[in-house]
Structure 1
């Protein structure tokens, strides 16, 4: 999670940033500003989860910044720093939406308290936002399905779909038979299979087109894929059909892509190209699974909600990895496993597959894991064969185990060698006043949060502490071996403020710069 610090006093701001970096929490300082105007621009640029701002500042004070941030970004938490003499302003800040107040001078315990409070608030808002996004995705999917089936659609929802769909290319896909002879699928497996189809088609489309597009189950066995920029259509169709056959053993018929210029086209295109009528019958014959209308309705998984939930799980896991919060990651996997097992028997396999796809997506995107089609096929087949809760738990344990193995391999790859490279970079660039954890993390090919965790694990010190040590050792050499004054030495080792440098130097060496020079200069 990201913090923007806003404080016009450089020494206090830098000290606060150092303190936060040394807490080893999930928070990182993503930017600093010395007045409200600069901070307002950085909020738009950096999108922090939390803004910690002083009240009294030039150009724009903290109260005005608070009002503007809450108006433009209501989910961004704001904590206000104040002195005892400004406490009446603090009351105003709370009325304007500040999460909490920090009174100067504030210690480590005070900072930990407000950061814990902010973390809880951010987590609740993210969960709420996730629920709202899933509900919105479900609403839009249902509305789009209704348009295909010539059912009425609310004008405001139609306007959203118009912007989303018009100008895309539509490919209609039909699964003719959900019970092929070489597979032992039953009617109860159709929701699971359809969810697997959604994920496989989305993954293939993302791999070949760079975008997963918009994918919808219209009716049982009938899918609509909308793509904004379609290239190599034949290659895409072959890849989709081949993947569905190799992974699931299902044959798919794909229609040639057609441009969508208006929503009114959808029902005609659907009926003409697939021969499907609102009754659910197909001109070329029903799917071999021969579902009744009631069974067909029940077989439609809540695709939008399930895929959105899958994405939210993947994002949650990715954030824990980026933060280096391995304990939290383990607890999260345990909680997700228990949530699947606690779900109803009718959706349990669907929930398990959703978690499995989320783990696979996270491993590929965050941990550089390879894509193993054979492993995916085997997992889906084993999930299909699970007949008891015990067997499902074993399947989930295997899925989370593969994920943990990918995590361990990734950690080994970016372990000591990455930290060693980072240390070399710091020793070469210590004089840069703008040298940040984020910049060094890029050199190590890691996210700032995970790099911070790994660096402390390998060196026993935080990034900030280690950088100060490097700079102080260089300063010792300059003080003992040159005639440069303290201000010049401070500038050479990366500090604009000689007083701040002198304070850090005494904390590090036990002597002021002048005392050190007097004792060590020959």
Structure 2
């Protein structure tokens, strides 16, 4: 019902207007009446009526002054002015200043009802527009709540204020336990052309809205787009195991129905339930870890953290991964078939590694190996295009899709082979340079002459002869020199135990280390350390 306030300095006139408005059918609520403009301004602040019906001529502050001030303070306020015939010029001035209509004294019932009917239709129209805008306003508040929650998660701090904000949009999470789902689109389920032509954020929005609809039907919770590739859902659970089962059932239903309705597949990671909202971060992190297992078991699944980390999906024994064919293609700058080799290596690793961490570890190990090599050759910038290797490794460790990992590795190793092919054949034409670089990085390991000869594709006997000719020392002599130089640095600059230094520089035991060190330097490791420190004191 619209509200109205009457302003006139004559009490009898105010009562007359009240009576006529009341007799109009009860369509208006008269919230106040005032004797002049000053009193009217105070009542406007208090009651905020939709319409003011005001006389023009009043003491202290007349209707025109009231209209000007009220228009600035209350832009939506509708003003109808009342004037006598002798004040009609004031009424026209009022209309030019924005008054909705005017009435002449003495006010006739039919004329008043005509004006009020028009005002009521305008009010109803505005109410309808506001109701249509309300969902948008609610969506803005929801987006604000989601952004606030994402920021809290990124900072590692979620508090009661986050729950209070969710409460403002009607999401009451008052059960004792919380759990999280992280839902990720399986990119390989989307046709390449469809993915390129569609804003990727629209996929996330579709998934988020679908998840929220499922939550609204089955549980208490709040879903939000967490990143460019992930949707997260905060689920509120009651006491007992029944809540966890309902969550798993809902997650499976989300996975199946998205696949059925949109021909897209998603993988869902679920953490362990925690008590209290402030502990929600741990279950969120667990859901993300569970999602990483998509690398070793494939997508289109619901992955539960506890099962993922405890169950050995495949063989769990550690093994030495075979990269020879891929490394040979890269070292030779051979582009033909490089992508197929990359796919084969990544697929083998994902299928046989027991954990996603081991997949990431092995890929990162190979990248670091080639980064060091490319730095030695001066081609690192040409290979990576100026990208920081640390940021690249972090990016690799965030990938949980085989397809995406293959694409990234194809690009990286294919580009490296192309740079080598275009700019330098050092790896192919100078096996001794390659051997020296490898020895410099791996002297702390039990590296053998045969192993390095195999790496540079030479017969061990020929490699040994060629090495002595080029370096002026035998393979063993050069390896020993590298190890002793590192040991000398550690003895001089650290308090590390001598036995530890022996082990970390590649010697099989401390006795062997002491003997070789004295042969090379003329003193024992202990004597060398004491001599260096004495020199520094001087």
Give the alignment's TM-score, normalised by structure 2: 0.36
Looking at CA atoms only, which structure, 1 or 2, has the larger radius of gyration?
A: 2
Give the alignment's TM-score, normalised by structure 1: 0.37
Greater relative contact order (Cα < 8 A, sep 6+) = 1
